[in-house]
Amino acid sequence: MTPDTRSAALDIERMRADVAGMLGEAPEAIGDDDNLIDLGLDSMRVLGLVLAWSNTGIALEFSHLAEHATLAGWWRVVQRLQASTERA
């Protein structure tokens, strides 16, 4: 399953759904603090998520997410990027 490619604003629930889709899991199976690598998310899937989420207008890069292994960590990164995009 591939991430949703719509360009709507990115929120944590869309991120959770997209990660779950990549892993073949239900969104509710992905906890905020679960280690996504331990759940089976590999670098190629992360890259796919980065590409899909970049369509929302934020300057997201693989390196931003590679520093974190949880959805909560990723969400903090996205929030910072969204805030900086809004200020620009």
pTM of the predicted protein model: 0.87
- Confidence label for 85 from pLDDT (cuts 50, 70 and 90): confident
Instruction: Decide if 50 contacts 60 (C-beta within 8 A).
Output: yes
Asked whether residue 27 carries a pLDDT value surpassing 70, the answer given is yes
Q: Can you give the pLDDT at residue 68?
A: 95
For residue 11, tell me if it sits in a domain: no
For residue 16, tell me if it sits in a domain: no
**What's the CA dihedral at 66, 20, 73, 31 to 10 degrees?**
-140
User: Domain tally for the chain?
Assistant: 1
Residues of the domain holding 54: 32-87
For residue 12, tell me if it sits in a domain: no
For residue 65, tell me if it sits in a domain: yes
pLDDT, average across residues 68-88: 90
- Residue 48 backbone dihedrals phi, psi, to 5 degrees: -60, -40
Q: Can you give the pLDDT at residue 6?
A: 46
Placement of tokens 């719509």 in the chain:
6
29-47 per-position pLDDT tens digit: 999 999 999 999 999 999 9
For residue 4, tell me if it sits in a domain: no
For residue 9, tell me if it sits in a domain: no
